[in-house]
Structure 1
């Protein structure tokens, strides 16, 4: 029996149940119509889907570490690690030692993280000692009984299989934005390049962590277009990070206007509806959100945060404020 299409124009039909809500045939205008619903109606729908597929009280904490910083040959307009952005002040560091990375992973676990994510500012994975070290990092994180995720740029089929053999849980490779707007943000690789890397990771049996960024000058239609690509993957990415641009001086997007928190809520709610079984990760930009805005994001379907002082190279919410937030939204004595 084909899945039932949700009526986005009224609230007369009930939220689909777990048996018929997952789809892989979303039309772009259908997703855009969802995004444009009255906000409380949209969040009501998203929260119902969230409860049908997720434990609403389960918010995963993940650690994130830049294991190789700066000097990336890509020209991503948002990224301070690009070698193209000469005015950005950033310390360039080579690949960290395996022991140092595992020490940070253990610290993250002690702080409550169940997932540890490692990012290297590479255009693509190259076989050799550096990749061998990353494989050792993955094995070490898994030995700590944590999920392991890496983002290393493009990779081929063999490299994806080697990561899987090392025990990697998920490969992160974000789409950033919709396919039509993508050339305005990145010119050094194509959208198809990104999709090929995701295909290699999936073929190796890895989970996918794939989302994007809002606030880069894209339209609502572009946001819907990105979600359409994700929602029509079969299976959906297990993890969908939703990032808000953090403008960095010296990058082409340094003067981008701020994103209103309620636009983020809309994006999270729409992502929750179209990828109901995925973890929707409240990612970059969270430091600038009030506790109330973050709670609204959780209500809309977000169920993961990154903790720690930084997200690769930009500031993140402080551990103490995260602990206070979790207490505020949890059961009260």
Structure 2
């Protein structure tokens, strides 16, 4: 199968709407062509700076304007972050992601400290990923020089639906940051969230944007909305698992080399529902010892390892 970068929405919609068993079979076949189907990469995501964000992302409990129970926390000490990374590696994680609730990266002492964190974790032979908001090409270059492997900057939703979810920046800001990351030679981690009240057409549009990038994102997180009390989207219904399966399978088929990450929302998914996602091409999960994914509940590493064992899957080295 050759990689394709000129998909149109009708083609991707046709894939998404295939009979479910046919869709899953094709996705599983593509997955086996490009990946080891018995391996799942365990990644750890740590909030190194929590809350107080000036953005108005409707789904996010870290936005300062919403009244949630999430406590604002300054940038964690470097020693604390390194200790988290060491324990994550001991628990089977091969990728360590650091998230800061910033609108954008600023050239200050906090950024200098993050560069030091990246250097130390890179020396531990783990993939290091950051998600810090918008950044310039020069800032991306500094992160690469420090040893950053990947930068996460999700599209979240389609360009047409974007201003229904976020008004404090626009869709092109997302694209510009992704381009800066790519120019610096850092791998791209970019996906989206379903369950925001979007249409199927919005989902297809988001996937089309990703699949038509000159280089497909090396990592594509597919998130189900984690509803946070106090945010505008707190009362939306739980995402239907077959919708997650269709998104994952479609992403796998159109971006076959990418790591497709089953991300937020797993706490509300049964083991069998997650198994369908793995069958459909997901080959990474986020796990944690403290049962959180940033600021929302998440299965523990212990439970995840037991699940993988029962399914005959093993952590990717």
TM-score, L = length of structure 1: 0.92
Provide the C-alpha distance between the structure 2 equivalents of 1:221 and 1:153, rounded to a whole number of angstroms: 26
Name which structure has the greater RCO, CA cutoff 8 Å, separation 6+: 2
**1:282 aligns to 2:262 (yes or no):** yes
Kindly state the Cα deviation for residue 237 of structure 1 after the two structures are TM-superposed: 0.4
Q: What does 1:213-228 align with in structure 2 at a 5 Å threshold?
A: 213-228=193-208
Q: Which deviates more, 114-123 or 30-39? A: 30-39
Provide the C-alpha distance between the structure 2 equivalents of 1:185 and 1:45, rounded to a whole number of angstroms: 32
**Residue of structure 2 in register with 1:295 after alignment:** 275
1:125 equivalent among 71, 91, 105: 105
Q: Which runs of 4+ in 1 moved over 6 A?
A: none
2:301 equivalent among 316, 319, 326: 319
SS of equivalent to 2:44: strand
Q: What does 1:89-128 align with in structure 2 at a 5 Å threshold?
A: 89-128=69-108
**Superposition RMSD on alpha carbons, in Å?**
1.0
Provide the C-alpha distance between the structure 1 equivalents of 2:26 and 2:211, rounded to a whole number of angstroms: 17
**Residue of structure 1 in register with 2:117 after alignment:** 137
**1:65 aligns to 2:81 (yes or no):** no
Kindly state the Cα deviation for residue 160 of structure 1 after the two structures are TM-superposed: 0.4
Deviations 1:186-234 (A, max 9, x none): 0000100010000000000000000000000001110000000000011
Provide the C-alpha distance between the structure 2 equivalents of 1:89 and 1:203, rounded to a whole number of angstroms: 38
Kindly state the Cα deviation for residue 143 of structure 1 after the two structures are TM-superposed: 1.0
**Residue of structure 1 in register with 2:310 after alignment:** 328
The gaps in structure 1 that reach 5 residues or longer are: 1-16
Kindly state the Cα deviation for residue 320 of structure 1 after the two structures are TM-superposed: 2.5
**Residue of structure 2 in register with 1:148 after alignment:** 128
SS of equivalent to 2:69: coil
Q: What does 1:179-190 align with in structure 2 at a 5 Å threshold?
A: 179-190=159-170
**1:174 aligns to 2:154 (yes or no):** yes
Equivalent pairs counted in the alignment come to 312
Deviations 1:123-177 (A, max 9, x none): 0000010000000110111111100000000000110000000000000000001
SS of equivalent to 2:88: helix
Provide the C-alpha distance between the structure 1 equivalents of 2:93 and 2:238, rounded to a whole number of angstroms: 29
Rg comparison, structure with higher value: 1
**1:47 aligns to 2:28 (yes or no):** yes
SS of equivalent to 2:103: coil
**1:238 aligns to 2:218 (yes or no):** yes
SS of equivalent to 2:6: coil
Kindly state the Cα deviation for residue 318 of structure 1 after the two structures are TM-superposed: 1.9
Provide the C-alpha distance between the structure 1 equivalents of 2:16 and 2:101, rounded to a whole number of angstroms: 33
Provide the C-alpha distance between the structure 2 equivalents of 1:98 and 1:193, rounded to a whole number of angstroms: 29
